[in-house]
Amino acid sequence: MNRNQLLAYVMYATKTYAELVRQKSLSILFAVKLFVVMV
């Protein structure tokens, strides 16, 4: 694997990870809102 491929892989992994974190935090926020409404 040359340096360009490695760089592309790291960029891809970072984007994928960021997207996962964003989805998780959104669902957590939604759950918290739902909980606040219920109580």
Residue 17 has pLDDT above 90, yes or no: yes
- Return the higher-pLDDT residue of 38 and 26: 26
pLDDT at 38: 85
Residue 16 has pLDDT above 80, yes or no: yes
Structural domains of the chain, count: 1
For 9, residues 6+ apart whose C-beta sits below 8 A from its C-beta are 1
Residue 21: give the domain boundaries: 1-38
CA pair distance 39, 31, nearest whole angstrom: 12
pLDDT score of 1 more than 80: no
pLDDT at 5 over 90: yes
What is the distance, to the nearest Å, from the Cα of residue 1 to the centroid of all Cα atoms in its chain?
A: 26
